[in-house]
Copies of this chain bind each other. A is one copy, B any other.
Amino acid sequence: MTTKCHCKDIPAQELQNIQAALPGGQDIDRLSDFFKVFGDSTRLRILYFLSRHEFCVADLSALTEMQQSAISHQLKILRLHRLVKYRREGTTIYYSLDDQHVQKVFAIALEHITEGTGK
């Protein structure tokens, strides 16, 4: 749907260009899905712990003080988004980070959080 600008100073042509350059609907959805993964404190804590060390499910359960089942469910989500990988050793499964971007995203988000008057 082409848009008509209600405001005075934006040429219709420029508006159209901007709208046309919007990443496709699918890309936007993939982007928001990516961020959704980080939008949960349990998953965030799991990612934090894995950023320091490889851990098995039981340990993540203990570290986060959450039930094993909850951790397994969240690890599945992290797996599907390729943010963690795992290896089996007997009955134990060790998880670790599978993405170099995780650390970067953390760093920038922290910048935002900590800026301003100790907000």
Min CB distance A110 to B, Å, is: 7
Say which size band chain A's interface belongs to: 35 or more
**Given A5-B62, A14-B53, 10 other A-B residues pairs in contact with their CB atoms under 8 A:** A1-B62, A3-B62, A6-B62, A10-B55, A10-B59, A15-B59, A18-B63, A31-B38, A36-B39, A99-B112
Copies in the complex: 2
Q: Which A positions have Cβ atoms within 8 angstroms of B?
A: 1, 3-7, 10, 14-15, 18-19, 21-23, 25, 27-41, 43-45, 48-49, 52-53, 55-56, 58-59, 62-63, 65, 82, 92, 94, 99, 101, 104-106, 108-113, 116
Q: Which residues of B contact A15 (CB under 8 A)?
A: 59, 63
